[in-house]
Chain A
Amino acid sequence: MKIYKYIILAFVLTLAFACDEDLLSETPLDTLSPENSFLKPIDIEAALTPNYQLLRELHNGEDNVLMHSGTDLCMSARDPANSRLGDYRVGLLPSSDTALSFWTRYYKMIANSNVIISRIENIEYTDSAQKQLHLGEAYFFRGYAYRSLGYLYGGVPIVLNEITSPKTNFTRTSKQATLEQAIEDMKFAVTNLPDVTQVLKEGKLNNAAANHLLAELYLATGDNIKSIETASAVINNPAINIMTTRFGNKADEVGDPYWDLFQRNNQNRSAGNNEGILVLQEEFNIPGGTPIISGSDNDFRYERYYGSLYWFLNDPDGNKIFLGATSKNLGRPVGFIRPTPHFTHTIWGWNSDTGTFSQDERNNNRNIQRDWVSDNSSSNYFGQKISDFPQSWFDGLSAQDTLRDYYPNVTKISTPNDHPNEILSNPETGQMANFSGSTVTDWYLIRVAETYLLRAEAHLANGSPDLAAQDINMVRSRSQAPDVSAGDVNINYILDERMRELNYEEDRRLTLARLELVYDRTVLGNPFSGLTIEPFNNLYPIPFSEIQLNSEVVLEQNPEYVN
């Protein structure tokens, strides 16, 4: 009998101490890993999506305000002498958030592209054209990122492969080398991306967009002839043209072709628009698009950030002029960023003696709203235009009123009378809900009007101001603006024209940085930032944290910035 107990004891011990170490192997249950999610062409397709998202985020009307503010285009509507690069001495430092935020996003875009470029070779494609298309997109995004980094920061470290382990020995290259990398990538993109009419989905990359950026890069590297050739390849595409006639879903309302460009849902080719080349996409209330509550990663916020806080204004009696923020009056902006006087007046030929502007449809009250009508029935001024208010009202405006509440609004930031019902607090009066502020429509990243202006720049640099004038007039004539003569064309004229035509669509700071004119133009056009900007601010500082983290090699700071 006694023997049993030892058998049992042995049994227990054998069992207890026999350990199965396979039990400890780990497979995540709800998280994808690089090993199981980069296997098929459809995975690469998915891996391209975040770069589109980054491109949109980099132009979402909130994270990119410093691409506009602190230049000749814009300034802060709140405390403009101090905030949002109102004062370069404290606003643009190596430790400033802005130095890091653009850097981070562009390098994420590069990393995402490098993952695709590095992994695609191990993926079996049944359709080799699809593979080339995917590669073309990846190279486009990488080239776009190096292009932007090169303009903004000068020469930056170049990474061309997927990074799978920590690395802290990056080295800066020259600005020239950075831009040449961008050119190489963009050239690859041009040959592998489809024609604008052949894209599989609206908003997808095409070779015209790549050519447009290539033309710009050639300009930046001084290769004017190539720039002209490449821009011409875009302009000569029969499927692409400046929209000179009315089109789209509001074609039968009072308007003009320029105004049509920016009406809700008019940006894509499906709306009959042949001008848009690369359009950032939005859609209301679907995953990946604009949510009902403004302020996600996925929506545009030009309305909220760039529009004036008009609905705070009081009439001469101290009552509200407006019954609130309404759809018809540009929605519910809160006035963070406002245009400079250079933009609101100088470039439109303001004559203070006559109180008139030069002829230009882009400056009519539809496109730049300068006047409003009181809609508050309890105001004694109900139904009156503000411009008809007594002079004493204008004289009595506070600094807050003039800077933040009452300034000319570029109407493309909003969708007047066309906001989704879900973001109105009162659909009958059109009053906006407190959480609104998104610009619920697609947004141009590139349209052919800009290609013309780029080619004009190239012609000018190439010593052909007459050809430059021709290109500029292509853009001006659409808006019934008088032609410019060859003798009047210079780089400042082109930069003003870009403002008139493209204003918030372009990354103004990048354009100026490309030309190394951030300093000159800001002094010229920005009454606050112009007082403190220095020539070395033509480049952004290298983020101080990057210098710290790249501990094995010193990342040189740009000249005159103090870490």
Chain B
Amino acid sequence: MRKIIFKVFLNTTLGKRGLMTIFSLLMLNTVHALKENFIKTDEIKINYNSDESKTPNIRDVQKTVSGVITDESGIPLAGVTIIVKNTKNGTTTDFDGNYTINADSNNILVFSSIGFITKEVSIGNQSQINIQLSEDIAQLDAIVVVGYGTQKRSDVTGSVASANVEAFADQPNTNILQSLQGSVAGLNIGAANSIGDSPSIEVRGRNTFAKDSNGDLQGSNPLIVLDGVIYRGSLADINPADIGTIDVLKDSSSQAIYGSQAANGVILVTTKKGKRGKKPSINFSTYYSFDSPTNRLTPANRDGFINQFQKIFYDTAFIGPDFTQPDPTYNEAGNYPYQSIIDGYNNGTDTNWLDLVTQNAFIRNTNVSVSGSSEKNSYFLSAGHTEQDGYVKNDKYSRMNLRANFENRTRDWLTIGMETALSMGDHSGIKADLRLGNLYSPLIAPYNEDGTLATDPIGVDRNPLLPTEIDQLDKRLNLFGNFHATIKLPVDGLSYKINHGISYRTQRDYRFDPNGNNFTGIASKYNSYTIDRTTDNLLTYIKTFNDKHALDATLLYGYEEREGEDTKANSGSFSNTILGYNSLELGDLNQQLVSSGAWDERSIYQMGRLNYKYNNKYLLTLTVRRDGFSGFGTKTKFGTFPSLALGWTVSEEPFIQKALPWVDNLKLRASYGKTGNRTVGRYDTLAKVNAGFQYVFGNESAYGQFISDLGNDDLGWETTTGLNLGIDFSILQNRFNGSINYYNNTTSDILFAVDLPRITGFEDINTNLGEVDNTGLEVSLSSINIQTEDFAWKSTVNFSTNKNRIASVLGKDDDGDGIEDNLIQNSLFIGESIGAVYDYVDTGKVYQIGDVIPGGYNPGNRIFEDLNGDNVLSDDKDRRILGRTEPAYRFSIFNELSYKNISLSIFLNSVQGGKDGYLGASTPTVSEYRWRHDNASTYNIVNEFRAWSPTDPNAPHAGVRFDDPIQRPNYADRSFIRLQDVRLSYKFPEKLLNNIFINQLRLFATGKNLYTWTNWVGVDPETGAGFNLESAPVMRSFSLGVNLTF
């Protein structure tokens, strides 16, 4: 009966949306009322002052030592354990970080706290010992966020990497991803070159070959979990200053708890909390960064342009037959089509368009935060403001972040908390046209004689500065709230947690272009909102039996619901433009058009996890998750993802301790599991109809519809099955530690839009097929090279390599040769990587004047190899695999040197292609960039593009007088080493500050992307932009900042 009532209730909207929350609140109240009666409070108090340690050693002088323990930023640390070495005598610090202990002068005091490097100090004749503990980079005892819970680093069986957030905190990174670039082995972050956007992310190689409509690979973004709930918004909205830790789940066993969405990796972002036992402190930090391009294309100036033009039209500007002697009768101006260019030629115009469309870039950032904790409450409040001007004129971005994290422990059995944040991003303003800034002829004057912008000095492409006159408002609001309550249940070790996360995002994009529609104006108003709601119910049971069997079990049931909608209203040809986009109804009736969209999707999931540890030596983790998603086909709504992991802490074995006393920690790990990739989006399984006004009859618009996509009800998730083998070690009293992981992941049922013969009337159909293997090795090593009183030198090296191989695509052998067929039209080849480059083979030569040139070819055209020797170049017979776009390996080196109060850190990052690897297309096709003869009179060329001409027969690029019949890009190696981050910081001596009630004052200067070693020709090797004229360069930044805590 009860169940039926619930069923009925669940079927109501209210039931579906809010039942979990409402019920949980009810539950809280009830439990609250009952709690005094049955919930046992079990406070554990450590008391090291046992009787035996009070027995004094007769030979030594017994004394009382006291002091204050703080962290590196001068905040007092409560709960730090102080033990007199080799005794049981010990104490802990109080709330203000104070301690007092009785010891002998020849004793050594050991200071330890979770997450900090343990320090030992000889007492000698000191009676006041103030200690600053530094965070433990080995993090052996650090807490690792593993999803729906945390674990001690030493208990982790999977491959979970924690990012060193602190090391890059001072860098002028407006997006947290920038500080992860290269710093976590196996986590590949692309370079950011567009402000306000997120760079690309990939964990452990690409395991899907799904491509989007542009033919770009897609579906490889990892899942982001923010403060415990899946986060669908942009990481650009999260204030980097608010982020406390970032953990990356890299192997299948640790990912499996996120089931069908985890196969591309999971990034767990946890924001700062008021740490227990810390006194309230206020932190203020600010920096200013000056940015300039690391490298950019340089368009030719007037002389270069004229010279180039003559070289392109060598057959008229030079005397044949060899075209190396200029023709004195040649009339340059006569060849320019537009009066504006002829005028410019005659009056000496030399416009630097690139200078006009670019600006001085900067970032200004300020953060204030208050954090602290009392016995019952801890909190973290922050406000941040970022303002950025990009490289391209009028490219502006600003963001306001507010955060309130709060935790309350009013009752021993109840903890409630919330993490809430607000981000207001302002992307308003349309930037100038960088592509045209590179392309516009220097002979064109940008302004009319009266000083107004010359809107249309040439034919089609308008003045590159014109977009800056568009009045645009683009404001995005992101509200994030995560609310949770944890209740200790009346069974010892059992607790229940309910978590409700809400993410609400809106965008307003309004535009008015006064220059549109023949200067009568075009305007639009676009509004969209997305709301994501997640409810997780967690039951946790943590208990140790007989001191040997440690159990940690988690059960989860959750529900996620997402919905969104958008509306766009357009108008144009305004009778009166003065009201802009705020009065669209003043436009021409026929131009007042609307469009709107809406969507929703839901997931249901259950998960169980069991961690078992025997005798601190043997570790076992079992998980299973069952995921259901509305977007999957009706036959495949649910998937189950199990995993198993084993760990053996070898260093706990007595025989190892005896044989290898210098080993502090050694752990072997092995895991195997299955995860999914939800590449299928909502509605992807359904056939679709395209509808709208498609034709006219007489003077009437005609509504039309056609079936545009085939459905596929069998569509489900991609499945990745992975093995991970790992070693964690720490030796020589933690001076040297590291972790090595080997993995092998096999992804099958890849979602792929298989091309269909167009005879069907369709272009492709989404299908689950194929198999891809990723095998890789990751090595992370950290060492404390030198550690003296005043000087320390620490290094971290990350190395990763990944080999990607397509094992199967269609699984068909239609040509009957016994080997599965390649899918050539999608560039997918069995046994090769996803990024295989398959093309004609360039001999590196071009046809010269006087050569015997085959039909259809002309001087300056590239010569390709005729592989099968049939004297015809054909797609089928004369292309082969030239290499791949994936790199061979990546590495990074982080060095941190500190001398007294000065510290210097240097971070080098590198991606290396190896043989035929990391290929990128460095040369534009002529049509794409208009570097062709028929446009040469209007469009400029960049100095880096040196095209063939009779007077430059050995130029690196093909000629442009005649289009290449085969438009193949030039492939080149993108390998690079980049001096990515340098930081110099100075901490003012505490003594100086104590008098003015400042705990810490630090000044810092940073440099970003200071130098890049590469053979790549073009904009940037990492972004892969070669001669892409619209690609903004990667910026080099110098910043100055201050960080103050009081």
Contacts and interface: CB of A to CB of B under 8 A. Distances in A.
A28 B701 contact: no
B825 interface: yes
A79 interface: yes
Interface string B696-712: 11111111111100110
Contacts of A24: 602-604, 628-630, 632, 637
Contacts of B855: 87, 89-90, 532
A168 to B, nearest CB: 6
Contacts of B933: 79
Interface in A201-256: 201-204
B489 A282 contact: no
Nearest to A313: B337
A559 to B, nearest CB: 14
Interface stretch (B140-148, B526-534, B670-678, B681-689): B681-689
A94 interface: yes
Contacts of A165: 710
B596 interface: yes
B27 A12 contact: yes
Interface string B512-526: 000001101000000
Contacts of B683: 26, 28, 31
Contacts of A9: 489, 496
Interface string A281-322: 111011111001100001000000000010010100010100
B213 interface: no
Interface in A406-436: 422-425, 433-435
B19 interface: yes
Contacts of B756: 166-168, 549
B588 A49 contact: no
A425 B698 contact: no
Contacts of A543: 758
A455 B824 CA distance: 48
B2 interface: yes
Contacts of A400: 335
B688 A546 contact: no
Interface stretch (B180-188, B441-449, B872-880): B872-880
Interface stretch (B29-37, B380-388, B542-550, B1019-1027): B29-37
Contact of B557 (A17, A46, A563): A17
A52 B630 contact: no
A492 interface: no
A288 B695 contact: yes
A105 to B, nearest CB: 9
A49 B702 CA distance: 7
A266 to B, nearest CB: 14
A434 B694 contact: no
Interface in A77-105: 78-79, 82-83, 87, 89-91, 93-95, 100, 103-104
Interface string B587-630: 01011010011111111101000000000000000000000111
A115 B707 CA distance: 8
Contacts of B874: 93-95, 562-563
Given A8-B30, A15-B23, A79-B962, A550 B757 contact: yes
A30 interface: yes
Contact of A282 (B7, B339, B696): B696
Contacts of A398: 316, 334-335
A14 B3 contact: yes
Given A281-B695, A281-B697, A282-B696, A37 B489 contact: no
Contacts of B603: 24
Contacts of A94: 874-876
A203 B572 CA distance: 29
Given A32-B688, A37-B689, A56-B695, A110 B934 contact: no
B864 to A, nearest CB: 12
A90 B874 CA distance: 10
Interface string A539-555: 00001111011111000
B696 A289 contact: yes
B10 interface: yes
A292 B758 contact: no
A239 to B, nearest CB: 18
A351 B516 CA distance: 49
A550 B759 contact: yes
Interface in B450-472: 456, 459-460, 462
Nearest to A47: B705
A81 B277 CA distance: 82
Contact of A4 (B23, B34, B685, B877): B34
Contacts of A562: 870, 872, 874, 876-877
A164 interface: yes
A85 to B, nearest CB: 11
Interface string A153-166: 00011010001111
Interface in B872-890: 872, 874-877
Interface string A497-508: 000000000000
B6 interface: yes
A424 B518 contact: yes
A298 B693 CA distance: 10
A43 interface: yes
A170 B698 contact: no
Interface string B559-596: 10000010000001100000000000000101101001
B333 interface: yes
Nearest to B688: A31
Contacts of A50: 690, 694-695, 704-706
A95 B876 CA distance: 9
Contacts of A30: 596-599
A532 B856 contact: yes
B995 interface: no
B704 A545 contact: no
Interface stretch (B502-510, B731-739, B760-768): B760-768
B407 to A, nearest CB: 22
B38 interface: yes
A128 interface: no
A16 B762 CA distance: 44
Interface string A314-353: 1000101000000000000010000000000000000000
A312 B341 CA distance: 12
Contact of B518 (A37, A103, A268, A433): A433
B200 interface: no
A20 B9 CA distance: 11
Contact of A5 (B10, B24, B38, B638): B38
B963 interface: yes
Contacts of A292: 517-518, 572-573, 591
B664 interface: no
B1030 interface: no
Contact of A163 (B342, B689, B762, B870): B762
A286 B760 CA distance: 32
Given A30-B599, A563-B874, A46 B757 contact: no
A229 to B, nearest CB: 31
The 8 tightest CB contacts between A and B, nearest first, are A111-B761, A49-B704, A90-B856, A287-B693, A201-B697, A202-B698, A90-B965, A32-B689
17 contacts: A1-B34, A20-B10, A29-B599, A46-B704, A52-B695, A78-B934, A111-B762, A157-B759, A168-B756, A201-B700, A286-B699, A289-B696, A312-B337, A398-B334, A422-B517, A434-B460, A532-B856
Interface of A: 1-2, 4-5, 8-9, 11-26, 28-35, 37, 43, 46-50, 52-53, 56, 78-79, 82-83, 87, 89-91, 93-95, 100, 103-104, 107-108, 110-112, 114-115, 156-157, 159, 163-168, 170, 201-204, 268, 270, 281-283, 285-289, 292-293, 298, 309, 312, 314, 318, 320, 334, 398-400, 422-425, 433-435, 532, 543-546, 548-552, 562-563
Given A9-B496, A23-B604, A286-B590, 12 more contacts: A15-B19, A15-B20, A52-B694, A79-B962, A91-B856, A103-B758, A107-B760, A112-B707, A166-B765, A166-B767, A298-B695, A422-B520
